[in-house]
Structure 1
Amino acid sequence: MTEQSPVDLANRDPNDINAHVGVNFEDVFGEPESFHSIDCVWTNSYKCFTCTKNCCYKILSLLCGIFIAFCWGCEFAMIAFQHIWHIGPCYKVCMINLGCAQKFFGSVMQCCLAPVCEAMGMFFSNIKVENK
């Protein structure tokens, strides 16, 4: 087993797999030039939105995050187990058997169909077309 690298607490989505989820106040609300609310309403709305979003996420992740991570860990372990112990060997058996079938049908085609195609090619190669 390899030693796991420490968790990066600064960059928690290094592969940007959830970049589409990043929602900020500016992504949801926007006042055009012709409509502006009072500055204190706009500022406090920003604070309320951001604080509520962050607090709710932290509470939900505190209550559910570890259990959900446990479930997904089990799920991916089962998938790996299936691929290693079932799907991989079945695939190998299938490829071995299909390899034999491929050789058999290839030989049949070489023996039966190739001479017919070669004769038809010789027949049609002697046709001359003249444009008048």
Structure 2
Amino acid sequence: MSSTTKKADRPREDTKILFDHELTNAPGKSIVGVHLDYPPNGFTPPHRHGGATVVAYVMAGEFTSGMNGNPPKAYKPGETFIELPGCHHTVAENNSQTSSTQAIAIVVVDTEVLKTGGYAALTVLDEGW
């Protein structure tokens, strides 16, 4: 079984939009807050974020993140990481088999991306997913 098939059988993250505001001091930009809940063994397939800057704050559990071909790193509650525009997020997962992982992602994105693609445009999965 290929790694793609194995990962496809894993549960996906649950997302909830917390806020969405246009930034008057940065015309053409919006800030969106997203609550992420990864069930045990949950993951997000490889993706990019529509040209956005994303800052993630881990609230509970342990979140494993790997970007741009770099080795994945485990983040614990209270830790943060940043994804810059164009970043390729290749590993985003909860490796625990028993508990969930929760994080808040703050996304700064072109307002036009939201207007044309909605919230789905914030996470653009790699082709084939």
TM-score bin (small chain): under 0.3
Return the structure number with greater relative CO, CA threshold 8 A, min gap 6. 2
| Higher relative strand content | 2
TM-score, structure 1 normalization: 0.15
TM-score of the pair, normalised by structure 2: 0.15
Structure with the higher fraction of residues in helix conformation: 1
